[in-house]
Amino acid sequence: MKIVIFGGTPGSGKTSIIKYVISELKDLKLHYVKFDVLSTEDDNLIKEKFDISTEKRISGDVCPDHYAALEIPKIIEKYTDKDVIIIETAGLCLRCSPYVEEGIAINILNILSGKPSSYGPLLTHADIVAVTKGDLISQAEREIFRAEVMKVNENASIIEANGLSGEGTIDIAEAIIKSPGIKDKLTLRHSMPTAVCGYCYGNKIIDSKETLKRYERGKDLKARLPNLNCGKCGFKSCNEFIRAVLDGKAKESQCPFLKKR
């Protein structure tokens, strides 16, 4: 089984490119997963268009890249019969990259969205950088952009891609076919931030005392929870459960694994 992770900022053309890639890979057994924060219909559209299995994973209150890292093993376990699992990430902040070492990492990079040097691991840790919307600017500037991408990620193969015409998508599909399959555990290419503070636990008041109080209670709960995101409490993730408890919307006893103090 191969795992392909697409990352890129919103509006970079990820979904359009993926559609072309899927039609190039139609002889393989595919599963498509879309990660998003609030809502998405892409999974339904792709299911309808290509008749492959799809699903969406909505991260809600959790950072979407953290959430993806937690969910990917579950997805792999569930779809062992597939040849390729295509994961489209939400693509929001540039701090992390959702890529794993064992799979192929593809960054869809909108040429109009600023200097390559201001992108983090989303760009620097990708195997393929597919530059989109290049048809809107001059060839000279495209060449300059390409050189700037190579400065921050000299190992990537840079492909000029177009989500409307399908340009470059054959090359992406070819790279996916040539990529090695996954065998054992997956490893992230880049660490995630330690996103734990009073605000992470749902505090809205900008006040240090209130935030600290919330943090202490949240930290205590976090330490006693299994952090499996098993969903038995009725929430998608342990973090969401913690927020609900702190907000008085859930009881600690809803978690079957909670350690007693």
Partner 1 sequence: MMIKEVTIFPGYDKEGKKECFEKVEIYAGQKIGIVGQTGSGKSQLLYDIEKLTQGETKTKRKVMINGKKPLKELKTNPSKKIIGYLTQHMNFMTDTTVEDFLKTHIETRGRNHTEENTERLVEKIINDANTITGEQIKKNTNILILSGGQSRALMVADLAHVSESPVILIDEIENAGIRIKKALELLVKKGKIIFLVTHDPILALDTDKRFVMKNGAISKVIHTSVREKGIANYLSWINNYMLDVREDVREGKQVEELKLICSPMG
Contacts to partner 1 by CB under 8 A: 111-112, 135-141, 143-144, 146-147, 157, 165-167, 170, 174
CA distance 239 to 35: 18
- Amino acid (1-letter code) at residue 17: I
* Pairing, β 2-7 against β 104-110: parallel
Supply the minimum distance, in Å, between the C-beta of residue 91 and partner 1.
20
41 or 143: CB nearest partner 1: 143
Supply the minimum distance, in Å, between the C-beta of residue 141 and partner 1.
6
Supply the minimum distance, in Å, between the C-beta of residue 143 and partner 1.
5
178 or 260: CB nearest partner 1: 178
Sign of CA dihedral 33, 90, 70, 73: positive
Supply the minimum distance, in Å, between the C-beta of residue 110 and partner 1.
11
Residue 172 contacts residue 158 (beta carbons within 8 Å): no
Supply the minimum distance, in Å, between the C-beta of residue 30 and partner 1.
20
140 or 206: CB nearest partner 1: 140
169 or 237: CB nearest partner 1: 169
Quick one: residue 202, left, alpha or beta (phi over 0 = left, psi -120 to 50 = alpha)?
left
136 or 228: CB nearest partner 1: 136
> Which long-range CB contacts under 8 A does 114-119 form with residues at least 24 apart?
115/148, 116/145, 116/148, 116/149, 116/151, 116/152, 117/148, 117/151, 117/152, 118/94, 119/94, 119/152
